[in-house]
């Protein structure tokens, strides 16, 4: 970059994005030639990941923002107060940047959008509230939306904890058996020079091999996991993973219904905030966790822009459930689309939660039975020669 006198300078600085750093120095009067980001293990961009604001922290911030604005405080004073009281370091620096942008004349929605880490539904909703003069109402509605979706997400995650713990316990148990217990039995039988059954020979060979090559196998497994995570973060890997989710038995249907519930809840919130249908659809698609459904919603938005109804446009995608399409059609005909969308979201959220509970009740005993079978197989294979030797040394 260059200053007013034409001096060329190089500066190392922190920022949320290259564009944000560029805008900051342009506002200070510099001529910026280029901005280069540092990507690596120490820069926080491993696998292309970005820093995120914790959901609970963002909900509390918006609750405080809503309360202070409702009390009549000026926006700059509100942002200054909230940034000084914010304990999360990353979010604190973000709020300070938002305050500086608002102070320079930007709208609150524009200042948050420039950070590139805030949900699109939030900046769009705030923009609609700023234009209509109903920012308080929009913030209150967004807080309710975030609380409902956050609670639902936490319930789903909590239902997966016990099966995950069982899987970890199974992995630890098998690692201990094959790296310590089985090699000990191998030494014992080798010293006894005993005739071993084929099943025992197979078990001992596997255990000693795992122990002997553990320092190669373990780093290889870690490297494969890291490579798999990096691949799923790529565009091609993300598309493949998204398609795989829908093909999974039982869970594929649950994933689809969850995405429909999320889409309905998001679209209802945007429409209730006063946004037109097409911009609401374009924003709602960004909140989805599925590339496939996001693309279908984009196609439906294009058809709505051409003059078709939302229900017809979604039905033509061939993906959305018939009941959801029919309820949307009723909502369009009665002029209560956002209320009907909320009803769809509530129905599918409860449906997914019930299906998840039933699936976990089935999966948990299956994992326990699988663990019992593995342990029984290993113990039988290890102790079978001992039983044979005991029978041979019994007095005739």
DSSP sequence for 171-214: HHHHHHIIIIIHHHHHHHHHHHT----HHHHHHHHHHHHHHHTH
Burial 36-47 (b: 16+ CB within 10 A, else e): eeeeeeeeeeee
Q: Please tell me the predicted confidence (pLDDT) of residue 22.
A: 66
* CATH no. for 160-396: 1.20.81.30
User: Angle at Cα 379 formed by Cα 374 and Cα 385, nearest 5°?
Assistant: 140
Q: Which CATH superfamily is domain 55-158 in?
A: Type II secretion system (T2SS), domain F (1.20.81.30)
Q: Please tell me the predicted confidence (pLDDT) of residue 336.
A: 86
Q: Please tell me the predicted confidence (pLDDT) of residue 46.
A: 41
Q: Please tell me the predicted confidence (pLDDT) of residue 49.
A: 47
User: What are φ and ψ of residue 88, in 5° steps?
Assistant: -75, 115
User: Angle at Cα 135 formed by Cα 133 and Cα 137, nearest 5°?
Assistant: 110
Q: Please tell me the predicted confidence (pLDDT) of residue 20.
A: 59
Q: Please tell me the predicted confidence (pLDDT) of residue 17.
A: 55
Per-residue pLDDT of the chain (396 residues), as tens digits, is 666 666 666 766 555 456 656 666 666 667 766 666 554 333 444 444 457 788 888 889 999 998 999 888 899 999 999 998 888 889 999 999 999 989 888 889 889 888 888 888 888 888 878 877 778 888 888 888 888 888 877 877 777 787 788 888 888 888 788 778 888 888 877 777 767 778 888 888 877 777 777 778 778 888 888 888 888 777 788 788 888 888 887 788 888 888 888 888 888 888 887 788 888 888 888 777 788 888 888 899 999 998 889 999 988 888 888 888 999 999 988 888 888 988 998 898 888 888 887 887 787 788 888 888 888 888 888 887 777 665 555 554
User: What are φ and ψ of residue 40, in 5° steps?
Assistant: 175, -170
Global confidence as pTM = 0.65
Q: Please tell me the predicted confidence (pLDDT) of residue 40.
A: 39
Contact 173, 145 (CB under 8 A): no
Q: In the chain, where does the domain assigned CATH 1.20.81.30 lie? A: 55-158, 160-396
Report the distance separating Cα 359 and Cα 127, nearest Å: 41
């Amino acid at each position: 970059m260059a200053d007013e006198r034409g001096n060329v300078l190089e500066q190392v600085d922190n920022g949320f994005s290259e564009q944000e750093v560029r805008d900051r120095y342009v506002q200070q009067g510099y001529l910026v030639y280029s901005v280069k980001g540092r990507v690596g293990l120490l820069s926080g961009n491993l696998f292309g990941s970005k820093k995120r604001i914790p959901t609970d922290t963002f909900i509390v911030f918006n609750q405080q923002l809503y309360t202070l604005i409702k009390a009549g405080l000026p926006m700059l004073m509100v942002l200054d107060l909230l940034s000084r009281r914010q304990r999360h370091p990353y979010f604190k620096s973000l709020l300070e940047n938002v305050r500086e942008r608002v102070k320079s004349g930007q709208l609150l929605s524009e200042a948050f959008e420039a950070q590139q880490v805030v949900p699109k539904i939030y900046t769009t909703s705030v923009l609609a509230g700023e234009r209509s003069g109903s920012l308080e109402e929009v913030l209150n509605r967004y807080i309710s939306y975030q609380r409902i979706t956050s609670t639902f997400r936490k319930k789903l995650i909590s239902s997966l904890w016990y099966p995950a713990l069982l899987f970890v316990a199974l992995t630890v148990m098998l690692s201990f058996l094959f790296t310590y217990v089985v090699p000990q039995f191998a030494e014992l039988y080798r010293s006894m020079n005993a005739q071993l059954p084929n099943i025992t020979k197979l078990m001992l060979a596997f255990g000693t091999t795992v122990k002997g090559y553990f320092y190669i196998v373990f780093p290889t497994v870690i490297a494969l996991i890291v490579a798999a995570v990096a691949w799923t973060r790529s565009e091609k890997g993300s598309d493949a993973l998204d398609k795989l989710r829908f093909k999974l038995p039982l869970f594929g249907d649950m994933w689809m219904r969850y995405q429909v519930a999320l889409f309905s809840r998001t679209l209802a919130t945007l429409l209730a905030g006063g946004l037109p249908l097409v911009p609401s659809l374009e924003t709602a698609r960004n909140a989805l966790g599925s590339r496939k459904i996001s693309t279908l919603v984009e196609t439906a938005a294009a058809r709505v822009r051409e003059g078709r109804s939302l229900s017809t446009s979604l039905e033509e995608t061939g993906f959305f459930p018939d009941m959801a399409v029919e309820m949307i059609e009723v909502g369009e005909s009665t002029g209560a689309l956002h209320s009907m969308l909320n009803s769809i979201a509530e129905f599918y959220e409860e449906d997914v939660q019930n299906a998840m509970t039933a699936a976990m009740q089935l999966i948990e005993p299956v994992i326990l039975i699988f663990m019992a079978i593995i342990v029984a197989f290993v113990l039988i294979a290890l102790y079978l020669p001992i039983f044979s030797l005991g029978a041979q040394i019994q007095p005739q």
